[in-house]
């Protein structure tokens, strides 16, 4: 077959062009397979625990997810006898004994008033709670698995003495949780070393969900809207869900009771004679 030189040159040029394009395409595909898309770490390293209340939660809302408008159940625990009030319309509502459950918005800051502290009955502490993340409890279990925020007596005393106490509550990773049995009445907590950021420490241990700040005394300018952080809305939940108890069983005949061992109504029971 007779071909012209120009045709052969164009054929060779097309061949080189095709091979070169294919090579570039293969290298590009390999580069796609080699580099995975960068994933944003789910931590708060860009934030700091000493940021003003509301800053961390507000930035958390911008990261997406079903967070805006969700009322995360929070259980506020305190020593026996302590009364807790929540802010409603720039004033505190009726003080209720601890524990107290409430649904709080993520990113909002809630001001509390804690009174009737043991050995400091005349003093008040005004902590704040900032919810920075939520948990995803199955349907019907939200109230049972509320985020616990503990106001320990030691922290309250430190706040009264003028110290500023910050507690970052985090959700433990079950695969890296402490194996210690949960025999202590309170939750496990760590003390952040001086100079450490408690939020960064909590990030290393799990997923921070709430920040408790305590130590703010009554401001000199009085109770204003800034002190209450706008009094964000909350949903009040009963601290202990009501349980419909079954009616007591009908009383047994007197003769059968006497034969029962350990019955408290039996006159033959030695336990009953104890003082």
Partner 1 sequence: MKHSVYHQPNAPLWPGPWRMALVVLCALILCSCRSPGKLGATAGLSSSAGSTVGQASRGDTLPREAYTGVPAAGEGWDRLSTCPTPGRWDRLSTCPTPGMERGVPLPYQPQGPWAPPGLSRPWPADEYIRDGGDVGVPAGVSGRGELGGLEMEDTVAHYDTLDGRTLVEPSNKVYLYAPRFGAVRQVVGLVAHEERQHIGGVHLPEHLESPTTLQLVADAEQNVQAAGEATARPAVALRTRTGDGVISSVIHPRAFQDAFKPFENLSVVRMGVFEGAEMPFLARSSEAAIAWSHIQAVQVILDHTGAMAEVKYDKVLSLYTVSSPPGKPKLRLVKVASTPFAQPGDEVFFTLRFDNIGNQPLGNVTIIDSLNTRLEYVADSAQCSVEAKFSTQPNEGDSVMVRCELARPLEPGQGGILRFRCRVR
Instruction: Considering only the stretches 51-59, 156-164, 221-229, 233-241, report the one whose residues sit in contact with partner 1 under the rule CB under 8 A.
Output: 156-164
Q: Of these, 143, 158, 223, 239, which contacts partner 1 (CB under 8 A)?
A: 158
Instruction: Give me the 203-222 binding string for partner 1, x by CB under 8 A, dash otherwise.
Output: --xxx-x--x----------
Contact between 102 and partner 1 per CB under 8 A:
no
Q: What is the 3-state secondary structure (H, E, C) of 53-96?
A: CCHHHHHHHCCCCCCCCCEEEEEEECCCCCEEEEEECCEECCCE
Helix H or strand E encompassing 48: none
Contact between 201 and partner 1 per CB under 8 A:
yes
Positive or negative: CA dihedral 107, 111, 115, 118: positive
Residue 186: which residues within 8 A CB-CB, separation 6 or more?
77, 150, 152
DSSP 8-class letter at 24? H
Indicate the burial class of 76 (C-beta count within 10 angstroms; 0-12, 13-18, 19 or more): buried
Q: Of these, 53, 60, 167, 232, which contacts partner 1 (CB under 8 A)?
A: 167
Q: Of these, 59, 115, 166, 263, which contacts partner 1 (CB under 8 A)?
A: 166
Number of shown-chain residues binding partner 1 (CB under 8 A): 66
Beta bridge partners of 112: 86
* List of residues contacting partner 1 (CB under 8 A): 1-5, 8, 15, 18-19, 23, 26, 30, 33, 49, 65-66, 135-139, 141, 144-145, 147-148, 150, 155, 158, 162-182, 187-192, 196, 198-199, 201-202, 205-207, 209, 212
């Amino acid at each position: 077959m007779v071909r012209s030189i120009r045709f052969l040159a164009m054929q060779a040029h097309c061949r080189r062009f095709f091979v070169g394009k294919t090579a570039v395409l293969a290298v590009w595909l390999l580069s796609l397979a080699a580099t995975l898309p960068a994933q944003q770490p789910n931590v708060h390293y860009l934030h700091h625990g000493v940021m003003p209340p509301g800053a961390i939660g507000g930035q958390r809302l911008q990261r997406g997810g079903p967070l805006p408008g969700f009322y995360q159940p929070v259980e506020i625990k305190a020593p026996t006898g302590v009364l807790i009030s929540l802010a409603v319309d720039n004033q505190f509502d009726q003080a209720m004994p601890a524990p107290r459950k409430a649904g709080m918005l993520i990113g909002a800051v809630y001001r509390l008033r804690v009174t009737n502290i043991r050995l400091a009955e005349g003093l008040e502490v005004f902590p704040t709670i900032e919810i920075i993340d939520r948990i995803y409890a199955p349907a019907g279990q939200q109230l049972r698995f509320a985020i616990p925020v503990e106001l320990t007596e030691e922290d309250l005393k430190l706040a009264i003495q003028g110290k500023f106490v910050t507690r970052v509550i985090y959700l433990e990773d079950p695969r890296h949780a402490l194996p210690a049995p949960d025999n202590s009445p309170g939750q496990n907590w760590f003390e952040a070393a001086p100079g450490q950021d408690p939020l960064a420490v909590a990030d290393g241990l799990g997923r921070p969900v709430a920040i408790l700040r305590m130590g703010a005394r009554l401001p000199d300018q009085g109770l204003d809207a800034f002190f209450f952080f706008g009094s964000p809305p909350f949903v009040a939940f009963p601290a202990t869900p009501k349980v419909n108890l079954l009616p007591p069983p009908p009383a047994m005949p007197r003769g059968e009771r006497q034969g029962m061992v350990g019955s408290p109504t039996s006159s033959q029971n030695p336990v009953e004679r104890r003082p």
